[in-house]
């Protein structure tokens, strides 16, 4: 019995000890959870029972340089749902669909998701929000957000850009300065049970959003209106593929106005093709500048002393470089000229001589110094940096053509920046669009000041250059840019368009004028660039210079630049053809014709063309022959034969002897046969003899030769 008691006591002691150890361990664990993990677990518990409803921050306002609102944000309600609280998803969807003008199935799908909250529709109008409120649907609520409003519609659209559904900047300044504009979002936190139902006396917390900062641009709204007005006139008159006008302060690099056509309304950006709002031609479009680039050539030569006023030039109508003749735009040439006359007349042989005097190493030194082949870092997304032939691969022929603005591609912003440096005293200024970032009280958070990138030429060179360019307006090709009461300098430019596969496209031009005023102390530099004007008028002096004059005259007067009395007037009037109203014409039949014949026929009717594919013969056209279109319409010429497998059935081969290329091509096309012409003149031999049955779609080789009377005995 005593042994049994001892055993019981031992067991009791072990059990008590084990219990105490377990209690000790539990106490330690409780203390660890309470004191070391307590905050973390408390936070997790709150997260589990709290539901967050995001509250979007109001995006900052964008002002012009004078404090006028260009873009602002207005309040708008968004409809959201807490799916766990929606008991009848299909019924709720049926009641919301007609109000929100959404598909019932799409709403039901959103309501059946397992998310704690989901947006049904963002930023609805006031009437729609009120109708949703009156429905009093369980689990459906409204939260205030902001909607971006571009009050000036398409004004400066490519500069401003637009935002996406979550108020994030997608293009333009809205994208570049998105972090400054968008602010910090807030939220509403509501305590709910495991089923997602709001608890009685539930805890509610409101974390207010922080509004974004504002931007003050360098753009002047009034000058921007001048730019947009003239762009609309250009479009109405010339129907171009695109057009750009840029107005810059050459002393600071500030952009006072910049516009493009085609354009769009940022409020309705989804209604426009992507290529319209995704590309800003002012900073993206690479083109050969033509004679406007001669400003850079002349500035470089004057600085290097590679040319002087005493030099004489002789222009017989062309200059030979390597194995190529570079022609002057004036038939027969300008004869003997001084340097000033070479500039006034925009003489190609004269400028080629000047470029060759500079030499390849020095010319490239100035190209880089003026900023060509480099980004200007204006502050907009999508900027291109132009195209330069690598210096090591450049030849004297390349140097000659670059001297007159060929074999080099620039963007409009590069050209206006480079010209500004040439005429402002020789300083390359960083172009910029934003003056400052401010808070809601107007306090400046960050400011942007004019920044000189480098000195390119001396003040003396710049002064000489301005005098030469002023004479271009008074005595040369730029007389249509003359402004009464102001000294104006500038340069015209007319360049052919380079095709996608290289080479120039016949009949397509880029017309431009870049100039400055007052010539003795430039306040403004303005570029007008018109790509592929229609209607038969394409010289820069005719297409661009008059619109330069309108923008500059209004801008100078608006800025209060005083007019001067007794200034000299142009000595002559440059031929200016007032564009006529475009007529309606009939599209000719050009299928089966050689490309050069087809182009000749289209040009005779005042039509443009676009080549699709590669080859020497036209196999298809859009619009079709006989269609009535407006002069200047582009006819797409398909140079790739259609698959022969589509053509079925046989036709009888006609006798083509004595027919012209056009007559033979028209006849064969009507029989669904393809012609492969050789030579020119009249048909005298064909690969398929007359009378033979051939399958539709067969290619027939037809040889042409001049009539005997033209070819001699």
3-state secondary structure 492-535: EEEEEEECCCCCEEEEEEEEEEEEEECCCCCCEEEEEEEECCCC
pLDDT in the model for residue 2: 64
Instruction: Indicate the SS3 state at residue 392.
Output: helix
Strands 699-705 and 682-686, by their bridges, are antiparallel
Rounded to whole angstroms, how far apart are CA atoms 577 and 258?
Answer: 27
Angle, vertex CA 263, rays to CA 409 and CA 74, nearest 5: 130
* Percent over 70 (pLDDT), the chain: 88
Angle, vertex CA 594, rays to CA 588 and CA 599, nearest 5: 50
The per-residue pLDDT of the chain, averaged, comes to 84
Instruction: Mention every residue, 6+ apart, whose C-beta is less than 8 A from residue 458.
Output: 303, 426
The closest alpha carbon to 633, from 609, 600, 660, belongs to 609
Query: From start to end of 522-643, where are the E strands?
Result: 524-531, 584-586, 608-612, 620-622, 628-630, 634-638
Q: Crossing angle of helices 89-100/126-135, nearest 10°?
A: 150
Rounded to whole angstroms, how far apart are CA atoms 307 and 317?
Answer: 21
The CA distances from residue 459 to 202, 408, 472, 520, in Å, are 74, 26, 20, 12
pLDDT at 539 over 90: no
Of 435 and 333, the structure prediction assigns the larger pLDDT to 435
| CB distance 177 to 215 below 8 Å | yes
In the structure encoding, which two tokens stand for residue 439, read together? 């808070």
Give me the numbers of helices (H) and strands (E) for the chain, helices first please: 23, 31
Tokens 């979002």 belong to 185
The closest alpha carbon to 523, from 557, 546, 571, 473, belongs to 557
Q: What are phi and psi of 240, to 5 degrees?
A: -80, 165
Of 667 and 532, the structure prediction assigns the larger pLDDT to 532
pLDDT in the model for residue 297: 96
Query: From start to end of 376-503, where are the E strands?
Result: 427-429, 434-438, 444-447, 452-455, 489-498
Rounded to whole angstroms, how far apart are CA atoms 493 and 544?
Answer: 9
pLDDT tens digits along 203-262 = 556 677 788 899 999 999 999 999 999 999 999 899 899 999 999 999 999 999 999 999
In the structure encoding, which two tokens stand for residue 474, read together? 């008074």
pLDDT at 613 over 70: no
pLDDT tens digits along 428-444 = 999 999 999 999 888 99
pLDDT in the model for residue 6: 75
Confidence band for 580, pLDDT divided at 50, 70 and 90:
very low
Instruction: Indicate the SS3 state at residue 212.
Output: coil
Confidence band for 691, pLDDT divided at 50, 70 and 90:
confident
* Mean pLDDT, range 528-548, rounded to an integer: 90
| Highest mean pLDDT pick, 64-73, 198-207, 671-680 | 64-73
| CB distance 674 to 700 below 8 Å | yes
Rounded to whole angstroms, how far apart are CA atoms 439 and 462?
Answer: 41
CA atoms within 13 A on the CB side of 588: 22
pLDDT tens digits along 447-488 = 999 999 999 999 999 999 999 999 999 988 899 999 999 999
Angle, vertex CA 670, rays to CA 669 and CA 671, nearest 5: 90
pLDDT at 70 over 70: yes
pLDDT tens digits along 702-713 = 887 766 433 332
* Mean pLDDT, range 28-53, rounded to an integer: 68
* Mean pLDDT, range 45-57, rounded to an integer: 64
Of 414 and 129, the structure prediction assigns the larger pLDDT to 414
Rounded to whole angstroms, how far apart are CA atoms 622 and 637?
Answer: 7
pLDDT in the model for residue 645: 45
pLDDT at 644 over 60: no
Instruction: Indicate the SS3 state at residue 253.
Output: coil
Q: Crossing angle of helices 360-369/348-358, nearest 10°?
A: 100
pLDDT in the model for residue 193: 57
Q: What are phi and psi of 257, to 5 degrees?
A: -160, 140
The set of catalytic residues is: 291
pLDDT in the model for residue 708: 46
pLDDT in the model for residue 636: 74
Q: Crossing angle of helices 595-604/661-670, nearest 10°?
A: 100
Other CB atoms within 10 Å distance of the CB of residue 119 = 17
- Window from 140-144, 156-160, 336-340 with minimum mean pLDDT: 140-144
Rounded to whole angstroms, how far apart are CA atoms 239 and 233?
Answer: 10
Query: From start to end of 532-643, where are the E strands?
Result: 584-586, 608-612, 620-622, 628-630, 634-638
Other CB atoms within 10 Å distance of the CB of residue 641 = 15
pLDDT in the model for residue 695: 86
Radius of gyration of the chain (CA): 37
The CA distances from residue 475 to 58, 462, 489, 495, 544, in Å, are 56, 20, 11, 22, 18
pLDDT in the model for residue 591: 83
pLDDT tens digits along 258-297 = 999 999 999 888 888 888 888 899 999 999 999 999 999 9
Rounded to whole angstroms, how far apart are CA atoms 120 and 239?
Answer: 43
Reply yes or no: is the peptide bond before residue 347 cis, omega within 30 of 0. Answer: no
Rounded to whole angstroms, how far apart are CA atoms 52 and 361?
Answer: 65
pLDDT in the model for residue 441: 84
Looking at the DSSP assignment, which residues form a beta bridge with residue 438?
214, 444
pLDDT at 671 over 80: no
| CB distance 81 to 111 below 8 Å | yes
Angle, vertex CA 270, rays to CA 232 and CA 247, nearest 5: 35
């Amino acid at each position: 019995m005593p042994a049994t008691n001892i055993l019981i006591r031992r067991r009791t002691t072990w059990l008590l000890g084990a219990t105490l150890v377990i209690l000790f361990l539990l106490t330690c664990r409780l203390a660890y959870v309470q004191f070391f993990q307590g905050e973390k677990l408390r936070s997790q518990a709150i997260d589990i029972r709290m539901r967050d409803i995001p509250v979007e921050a109001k995006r900052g306002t964008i002002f012009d340089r004078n404090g006028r609102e260009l873009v602002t944000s207005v309040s708008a309600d968004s409809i959201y749902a807490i799916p766990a609280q929606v008991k009848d998803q299909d019924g709720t969807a049926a009641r919301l669909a007609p109000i929100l003008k959404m598909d019932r199935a799409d709403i039901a799908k959103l309501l059946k998701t397992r998310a704690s909250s989901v947006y049904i529709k963002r930023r609805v109008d006031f009437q729609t929000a009120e109708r949703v409120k009156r429905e009093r649907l369980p689990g459906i609520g409204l939260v205030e957000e902001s909607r971006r409003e571009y009050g000036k519609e398409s004004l400066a659209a490519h500069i401003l850009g637009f935002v996406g559904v979550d108020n994030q900047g997608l293009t333009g300044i809205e994208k570049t300065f998105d972090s400054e504009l968008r602010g910090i979002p807030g939220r509403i936190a509501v305590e709910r049970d495991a089923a997602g139902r709001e608890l009685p006396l539930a805890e509610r917390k409101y974390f207010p959003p922080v509004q974004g900062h504002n931007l003050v641009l360098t753009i002047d709204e009034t000058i921007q209106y001048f730019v947009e007005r003239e762009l609309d006139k250009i479009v109405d008159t010339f129907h171009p593929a695109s057009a750009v006008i840029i107005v810059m302060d050459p002393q600071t690099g500030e952009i006072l106005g910049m516009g493009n056509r085609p354009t769009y309304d940022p409020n309705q950006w989804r209604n426009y093709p992507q290529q319209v709002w995704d590309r800003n031609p002012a900073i993206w479009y690479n083109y050969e500048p033509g004679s406007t680039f001669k400003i850079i050539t002349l500035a470089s030569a004057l600085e290097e002393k590679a040319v002087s006023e005493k030099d004489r030039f002789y222009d017989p109508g062309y200059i030979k470089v390597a194995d190529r003749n570079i022609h002057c735009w004036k038939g027969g040439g300008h004869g003997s000229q001084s340097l000033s006359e070479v500039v006034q007349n925009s003489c190609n042989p004269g400028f080629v001589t000047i470029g060759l005097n500079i030499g390849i190493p020095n010319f490239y030194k100035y190209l880089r110094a003026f900023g060509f082949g480099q980004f200007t870092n204006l502050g907009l997304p999508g900027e291109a940096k132009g195209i330069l032939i690598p210096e090591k691969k450049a030849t004297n022929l390349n140097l000659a053509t670059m001297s007159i603005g060929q074999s080099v591609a620039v963007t409009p912003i590069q050209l206006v920046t480079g010209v500004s440096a040439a005429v402002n005293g020789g300083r390359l200024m960083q172009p910029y669009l934003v003056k400052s970032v401010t808070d809601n009280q107007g306090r400046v958070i960050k400011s942007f000041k004019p920044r000189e990138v480098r000195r390119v030429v001396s003040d003396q060179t710049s002064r000489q250059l301005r005098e030469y360019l002023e004479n271009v307006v008074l005595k040369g090709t730029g007389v249509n840019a003359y402004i009464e009461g102001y000294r104006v300098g500038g340069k015209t430019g007319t360049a052919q368009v380079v095709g996608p596969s290289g080479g120039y496209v016949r009949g397509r031009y880029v017309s431009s004028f870049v100039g400055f005023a007052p010539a003795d102390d430039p306040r403004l530099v303005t570029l007008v660039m018109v790509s592929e004007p229609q209607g038969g008028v394409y010289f820069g002096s005719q297409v661009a210079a008059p619109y330069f004059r309108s923008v500059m005259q209004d801008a100078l007067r608006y800025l209060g630049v005083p007019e001067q009395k007794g200034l000299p007037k142009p000595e002559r009037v440059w031929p200016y053809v007032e564009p006529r109203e475009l007529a309606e014409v009939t599209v000719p039949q050009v299928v089966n014709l050689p490309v050069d014949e087809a182009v000749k026929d289209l040009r005779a009717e005042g039509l443009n063309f676009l080549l699709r594919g590669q080859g020497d013969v036209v196999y298809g056209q859009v619009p079709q022959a006989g269609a009535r279109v407006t002069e200047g319409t582009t006819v797409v010429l398909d140079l790739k034969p259609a698959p022969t497998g589509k053509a079925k059935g046989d036709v009888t081969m006609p006798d083509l002897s004595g027919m012209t290329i056009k007559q033979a091509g028209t006849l064969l096309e009507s029989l669904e046969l393809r012609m492969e012409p050789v030579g020119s003149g009249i048909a005298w031999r064909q690969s398929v003899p007359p009378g033979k049955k051939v399958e539709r779609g067969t290619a027939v080789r037809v040889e042409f030769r001049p009539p005997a009377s033209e070819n001699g005995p």
